[in-house]
Amino acid sequence: MNKPFRLAVKAVILDEQSRCLVIRRSHVNQHFVGAWEWPGGKVDAGEDFASATLRETLEETSLKIEITGLAGVTQFEMSTVYVVLLCMEARLTGGELKLSEEHDAFAWMPLGELSGQALPAQVRDLMLDYAKRKGTQP
């Protein structure tokens, strides 16, 4: 029970048609290979959550974004830590999309289509709750 709590972040990058950018986990990952996810990752020691959201998005997609609001939060347990995952809405401000080796495909996906996709188990409920709240089911 004495595992520490760590913060991680995701960017829900929306376009004008309320589609979100999702990227597909590649075979270099140990878990959830083939699952679609929002860009993001761990907040580093001493780093604030907003900077981490921008940095992880840049590392994983080469895109520059600005945060526009809160999308949601969830928590899950890992072997040595509990993770609080904070998901922030964002919009593109620059860059050309280029994936790192952690992902092998991307899509601008209507929120209503998330429910038909392979999603990481730990974030699935949050992603579908968000899609439902935004009211854009197909």
**Positions that interact with a copy of itself (CB under 8 A):** 1-2, 4-7, 43, 45-46, 48-50, 66-70, 72-75, 82, 84, 86, 88
Signed CA dihedral, 60, 65, 71, 72: sign only: positive
Closest approach, Cβ 125 to a copy of itself, in A, equals 13
Closest approach, Cβ 35 to a copy of itself, in A, equals 22
DSSP code, position 53: H
Closest approach, Cβ 115 to a copy of itself, in A, equals 23
Q: Name the residue nearer to a copy of itself (CB basis): 24 or 39.
A: 39
Instruction: Strands of 16-128 (E only): list them.
Output: 19-25, 36-37, 40-42, 64-77, 82-94, 103-110
